[in-house]
Structure 1
Amino acid sequence: MAAVLNGFSYTGHKQTITLDWKSILKKCDDFSGPVNGFMFIDFNSIIEQTCPRDTFFDVIGQIVSVRPLETSNHVASKHYIKLTLSNIESVHLKVTIFGTQAYQLSQYLKENPTVNCVVIVMQFVKLNIWDGVGQVKSHFEVTKMFINSDIVEINEYKKRYIIPINVQDGTGTIGLTLFDREAKRLLDISAYELKKIYEAAGDSHALFPVQLNVLKNRKFAFLVDITKYNVNNYNNIYTILKLTEDVSIVSELESKLELMSIESVSLNQVPLESDDVVQSVQKDVISQTDESFTPSTVNKSTATTPGKISTDLKRNLQDIYDVNSGDDLSSTKAKRKSIGDETPLLIPKVEK
């Protein structure tokens, strides 16, 4: 056993085992550990370059796009294929595969054009930074690739289907990702089973499985995860962490949303003289038609007309500040020097 001295480890361990001609190997028939020993890394940590840089790691995902095999270089080991993997959270990761494995993947895709879901495992890949974004690439013959192989990791991955849903409120619509565990709790059927039923139905005029009808006319409160990847890449698909139908929670969120909507419209339009004026203007600026809120400037009372508001605003400013001339407040004119009591200083008044 010797220490890793070159600063780069294939497995992440700091020691390596060296075999010589005296070493004896025996087959183990009752090994209980993992067969392949995968060390999967989260896609976001790769993209944001927070993953390990001094060791290889593994990735698993579904192929969502692939480019043709590039063979322009006269050296076969430098021929490559570029593809995009998507994980369970719908995060996309760019992957570059070189050499014989690039040919292997290209051949598989040509021979299996009807396979809709191609899940691959890339073992022993390296971080590759391109244009400030983290990607992965294979490393000569060190990297191992499993394409839709009958191994535990790929079989389990295929069962973890997700349901993309659109959620709408008064402010707009957002896309969310519902995991299988939550789908089963809501629908009393897993997303994997739902997919099988939908595939078995074949061509149908239905837009969606009838099992989804149980979601009609129901309101949910969602706790979502907004990652750096969402912000930096303008990705508007967010993962659901929790959801609930609790009436008190949903009602509280709706009341806050309505209050925020009213305040955002009326904040810069009303002189805050009294509660009566604020309440009156709030009723004027918001007109409700059916189930939507529409900003309106209808003058329903002389106390809240634009002319009245403007006059009141000027009067309020004059009450707060002692101003004899507008020249002292100009940003383009030089301020005149005070001579005696002719030009008094600007003295703020505190309103009670």
Structure 2
Amino acid sequence: MADQNISMLNQLNVYKTDSVVRVRIIRLWRQADNENPSETYSIDMILMDEQENKIHASVLKKFCPKVEGLFVEKECMLIKNPTLGKIYSKFMSVDNPHKLNFAYATKVNKCEDFGGHLYGFKFTSFDLLLQNLVPQNQSIDVIGFVATYYKMEDVTKKDGTQSKRMCLQVQDLEQRKITLTLWGTYAQQMSDYLSTNEDDGHVVIILQFGFFTYYNGRASISNSYNVTRLLINEEIDEILSFKKMLDLLACTPGASSSNGISRPSMLLSFHDDFLISTEFKHIAEVDGIREAMSFIIFGTIKFIPRDVKWYYHACKSCNKKVTPVMISKQALDGSCDDEEQGYECNNSGCQGKVVEAVLRYKILVKVQDSTGVLDLVLWDREAKKLLMKSANVLLEEILSGDIDMDLFPEDFKKLVDKSFAFKVQITDYNLNHDYKFYTISKLTQDPTILCELQKKLNFDQNTNSDSMHGISQSFPSDDTINFKDTDVVSMSGDNTTPLSRLESSTGNNILEKSKTTAINLKRNLVEVYDDDEAQGYSTNKSRTTSKTIGKENEKHNLIIPKIEK
């Protein structure tokens, strides 16, 4: 058959019924019958022509005996007289509104002269995914290496059936990370590989026909039913080329240590992390810690300060804190016409460039258990999970309501008097500079975890503490990937008690009395806190630490623990 009679897949239309296409089967699977899952409803495929146009194809069960033996993944076919159907699914496995169907008049023959690619990858940049610039109803292809992962776990799906789930973080060549969740056989495939190939160094994967979601400011990808292809360290050009680039980056002077990862690191599950592997402490014990460490506490958020800025501007590319600068706008004649404010990022990766800035959370909270009170910092990742909106959206809501942006956001009230298990990090910086605001690296309201931690607290039944209320609430993001604790550095400022959440009838008086304290606290926090994923801080600035926490607490309704004799 002459090539001029061959149609490309993007040339097919409903008006022409005698088309001939030459294609490769790049994915092949059986679709189960919804009413009888053990029976086949159809054989489905992704077909690709020599120009890498793709289309979803389907053969209904009653037509399968006629052509079934001709369908082999990666093989090529000539298809004559196919029909076109409309795709009604919200999720598009390929960028084509039509589905190619096999009917009685359709003829299929094998062919050997196909000149197209074997897979037809079209990789999507992590940057586009993280900025939510990709349609969420179309499949995507991504390539990256596995940076961290959780062990595979058994889960019960919404329909009551059992499945497997495995969560990972995949990183690209620009050190951008994205969460990947694998289900069912894909989770099993990844788990089996990691457990049996411990000396493979970088584990580079390709996820083809993956599913992209962007929720609550966080991008994530997963496999999509049976259409997804998962390739792990395969000897193909794309993966081999990616590995070479990783090796080159690792040898580059000044390269980040993350490029030198030789083996993915397994993260602990929330249950193991909070109940087994990380030491539990009462708040009263924290002041006696003399070495950098992470620990678990169980307490209730009692206060959030009103007069400390709860957000900061971060680089959209690297997430580091940025510096405001004035940028000259050049007129058409080359002269400086005007100036406007921009942001400069001094992180080594951005090298002082003027960058686009985004708002990130940095919320100070006062947490109480039966033994005392501790000042902690809730950074962007965990704050977005709790508030279900980004810092930028919250600030826009406040400004659109003609409310003073320095006032206490109404959304913060949902955090007060809520109990959590907190994983807290104390670093050398905290210890060397006596900064007593520590980072919350993880938190959860999982009822099983809270009940176990409650036993460790060994509450006195006669105390007035109500910090156990609400433990049956379920925190919706426990099953998502968290960054390793080393990605977050805890800083601390003046040990002055922040202003509490006050009733409106008394708030103004206490704000006036605490004006000096709030100004000092705000100044120190601006100097101390850098960003959510900071790796290092300047230590050449002297800061003082106030010792007035006891006097300030007398003004607020703190629960005073009973002293055991």
Which has a greater percent of helix?
A: 1
After TM superposition, the score normalised by the length of structure 2 is 0.31
User: Larger relative CO (CA 8 A, sep 6+): 1 or 2?
Assistant: 2
After TM superposition, the score normalised by the length of structure 1 is 0.47
Structure 1 or 2, whichever has the larger Rg, is 1
